[in-house]
Every structure is written in C-alpha cells, then in structure tokens.
Amino acid sequence: NAGVTQTPKFRILKIGQSMTLQCTQDMNHNYMYWYRQDPGMGLKLIYYSVGAGITDKGEVPNGYNVSRSTTEDFPLRLELAAPSQTSVYFCASSQPGLAIYNEQFFGPGTRLTVL
C-alpha cells in the first residue's frame, strides 16, 4: 500500500493564480482531511470529508474549496492565491472504528509559496 500520496511536493504560485493540490489514499478510508501547517502554529484543519459526496468546513476554510467524488481522492482547490496561503499542506485519512485510536495517516505534504 502506498498510503496517502500528495502531488505536487513543491509549488510556487503568483498572487491571484489558482491551483489544485491532489490527494489520494489506497486504504479505503472513508474519512479524509486537509490541514495546513504554518511554522510554530501546529496543524489547522481546512476541510474534511466523511465519505464520497460529503464535505465540511474545518477551522480555516476561507480561500479553499474541496470535492470528494470518490473514496480515494480528495483534491483541495485554491482560488485567487494570496501570500497568506503560503504554507505546508497535509492530506490525511482515517477510518474511525477500525483503528484503535482513530489514527490519522498523513501524506508527505505539499510546500506552497505564494509570491
């Protein structure tokens, strides 16, 4: 199993551009999450999904959109990129009720810089 994969690994955007961060998991997990990690600020939840076709906002959803058309994929869309969106983005998945501690499995991250 590859686990959770994310593409791209790095990206530089200009202000106002848009892009999609890709996330795929092969563990058949129903739950998927997008976090952003800023230095010294921990992980902040952007959006999450409890299954295909179901998404909900987290703590910091402004400026982002998501979709979940399949169990495996959970892309994150940035529209009109702003310098405040410079961060490292992590996708994660879990299957509550399956793992003992509802463990989340994280991808390797996407480092995004908006100039």
Enter the DSSP assignment of 96: B
**Which residues sit at the interface with other proteins, rule CB under 8 A?**
4, 31, 35, 40-43, 45, 48, 50, 90, 92, 94, 96, 100-104, 106-109
Q: Which is nearer to other proteins, 63 or 108 (CB)?
A: 108
**Rounded least distance, CB 103 to other proteins, Å:** 5
- Report the number of secondary-structure helices (H) and strands (E) in the chain: 0, 11
Nearest-approach distance from CB 21 to other proteins, in angstroms: 14
Q: Give the angle subtended at the CA of 112 by the CAs of 109 and 114, to the nearest 5°.
A: 170
Q: Is the dihedral of CA 76, 43, 25, 110 positive or negative?
A: positive
Whichever of 74 and 90 has its CB closer to other proteins, that residue is 90
Q: Which is nearer to other proteins, 6 or 85 (CB)?
A: 6
Q: Distance between CA 19 and CA 114 in Å, rounded? A: 11
